Structures are given as structure tokens and as C-alpha cells.
């Protein structure tokens, strides 16, 4: 019976010894370098592209910190651009229109480079050609934002064809040029 008591006493000491030995061995052990295992897929008949072998990434290296340096900006000199000159106004005089204006006692002004900046002309002036179209005995002209029709055979007030505020195909007209 004595043998069995010694065995019972020695069993906890032995278990404690092996537990400490296990902890000591595992704590002092260096970790094994990890390896990457890549399974290569067998090439198929439908994909002729070659499979590149897997590469192990090199260990990360620290990135150097950027150093602040003074940046000197070059001085940019402004070079002026040439101002384009306007094209010359080509408006040859029309003798028949001048004679007709004189016959109607209207002042005749031919638009040229000397008078194209004028926005208001004297009353009863006949300006040629400021959006004026003549079809036989009828003239259509643009006057103060209105499109007027004038019957040249029968003197009467002009007929207003289009005026600001009219609608054309559901669009409100503020100026006839809105329709272009």
C-alpha cells in the first residue's frame, strides 16, 4: 500500500513538472517564418494566357519622410495679345434705294464704318439695309423689335407680323432674334 501512496503523491508533481516544461519550451521557441503556398491552376484549353508564378513580397521598408524645401516660382511675364481689328463693313450704296428714299422725303443713311455705332437715328430716317427684305410690292423690315410688313404699292400704316410678347409655337418672343 505504501507504493500506491507514493505514486499518488508523485503524480501531481510529475504533472506539474511537465506543464512547466511545456510552457518553457513554447515560450522560448522562435516563430517559424511564414511561407506563402500558392496552388497553381492547371492551364485550360480556353485560356491561352500563361499564369505568372506567385512571388513573395519583400519585407516592408520604412518610407523616408518628405523634407520641406523652399519652392521658388518663376516670374511669368504677361505678354499682351494683339487686339483683333474688325473686318471692314462691305455695304455698297444702292442707287435705287437712295432714289426711292428721296422720293418719299425720307433721310437716307447708308450704314458704313462711320455710323454703325449709332443706336438711335433721327425720326423719319430710312436706314438701308437694317433687316429689310423687298418682295415685289411688299417690304418686310425689323423696327424696334417688331417685324413689320409694308405694302409699297398702297401707302398705309405697316402691318405688325411679330412683336415682343407674341408666342410662336408656344415660345414667348421677347425679340425676333429669339427665333433664330
- The model's confidence at residue 159, banded by pLDDT at 50, 70 and 90, is very high
If asked whether residues 123 and 138 sit together in one domain, one would say no
Q: Does any domain span residue 26?
A: no
If asked whether residues 138 and 173 sit together in one domain, one would say yes
Q: Taking residues 23-41, what's their average pLDDT?
A: 66
Handedness of CA 133, 142, 100, 95 (dihedral sign): negative
User: How far apart, in whole angstroms, are the C-alpha atoms of residue 146 and residue 174?
Assistant: 10
Gyration radius of the chain over CA positions: 51
- Which range of 127-136, 147-156, 168-177 scores highest in mean pLDDT? It is 147-156
If asked whether residues 111 and 156 sit together in one domain, one would say no
Residue whose entry in the numeric block shows the C-alpha cell 428721296? 102
- The model's confidence at residue 30, banded by pLDDT at 50, 70 and 90, is low
If asked whether residues 135 and 167 sit together in one domain, one would say yes
Q: Does any domain span residue 99?
A: yes
**Structurally, how many domains does the chain consist of?**
2
87 or 85, which is more confident?
85
Q: Is the pLDDT of residue 109 over 60?
A: yes
- The model's confidence at residue 160, banded by pLDDT at 50, 70 and 90, is very high
C-alpha grid cell for residue 36?
506563402
Q: Does any domain span residue 63?
A: no
Q: Does any domain span residue 147?
A: yes
If asked whether residues 123 and 136 sit together in one domain, one would say no
If asked whether residues 122 and 148 sit together in one domain, one would say no
User: How far apart, in whole angstroms, are the C-alpha atoms of residue 105 and residue 123?
Assistant: 12
Q: Does any domain span residue 52?
A: no
pLDDT value of residue 156: 87
Q: Give Cα 129 to chain centroid, integer Å.
A: 40
If asked whether residues 148 and 171 sit together in one domain, one would say yes
Q: What domain range includes position 110?
A: 94-130
If asked whether residues 124 and 140 sit together in one domain, one would say no
Look at residues 51, 20, 54 and name the one whose alpha carbon lies nearest to residue 37. Answer: 54
Q: Does any domain span residue 172?
A: yes
- For residue 166, count other CB atoms closer than 10 A to its CB: 15
Q: Does any domain span residue 143?
A: yes
pLDDT value of residue 15: 79
Render pLDDT for 115-143 as a digit per residue (tens, 0 to 9): 666 556 667 666 655 677 888 889 888 87
Q: Does any domain span residue 20?
A: no
Render pLDDT for 50-77 as a digit per residue (tens, 0 to 9): 566 666 766 677 777 777 777 777 777 7
Lowest mean pLDDT of 13-17, 98-102, 156-160, 162-166, name the range: 13-17
If asked whether residues 150 and 174 sit together in one domain, one would say yes
In the beta sheet, which residues pair with residue 171?
A: 168
Q: What are the C-alpha distances in Å from 26 to residues 21, 29, 30, 98?
A: 9, 5, 9, 116
If asked whether residues 163 and 145 sit together in one domain, one would say yes
Amino acid at each position: 500500500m505504501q507504493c500506491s501512496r507514493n505514486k499518488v503523491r508523485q503524480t501531481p508533481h510529475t504533472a506539474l513538472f511537465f506543464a512547466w516544461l511545456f510552457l518553457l519550451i513554447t515560450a522560448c521557441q522562435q516563430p517559424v517564418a511564414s511561407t506563402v503556398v500558392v496552388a497553381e491552376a492547371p492551364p485550360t484549353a480556353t485560356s491561352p494566357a500563361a499564369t505568372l508564378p506567385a512571388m513573395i513580397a519583400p519585407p516592408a521598408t520604412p518610407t523616408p519622410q518628405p523634407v520641406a524645401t523652399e519652392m521658388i516660382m518663376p516670374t511669368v511675364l504677361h505678354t499682351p495679345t494683339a487686339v483683333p481689328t474688325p473686318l471692314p463693313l462691305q455695304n455698297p450704296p444702292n442707287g435705287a434705294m437712295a432714289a426711292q428714299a428721296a422720293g418719299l422725303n425720307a433721310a437716307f443713311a447708308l450704314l458704313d464704318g462711320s455710323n454703325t455705332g449709332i443706336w438711335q437715328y433721327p425720326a423719319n430716317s430710312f436706314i438701308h439695309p437694317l433687316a429689310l427684305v423687298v418682295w415685289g410690292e411688299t417690304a418686310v423690315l425689323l423696327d424696334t423689335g417688331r417685324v413689320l410688313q409694308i405694302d409699297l404699292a398702297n401707302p398705309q400704316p405697316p402691318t405688325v407680323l411679330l412683336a415682343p410678347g407674341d408666342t410662336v409655337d408656344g415660345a414667348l418672343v421677347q425679340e425676333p432674334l429669339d427665333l433664330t
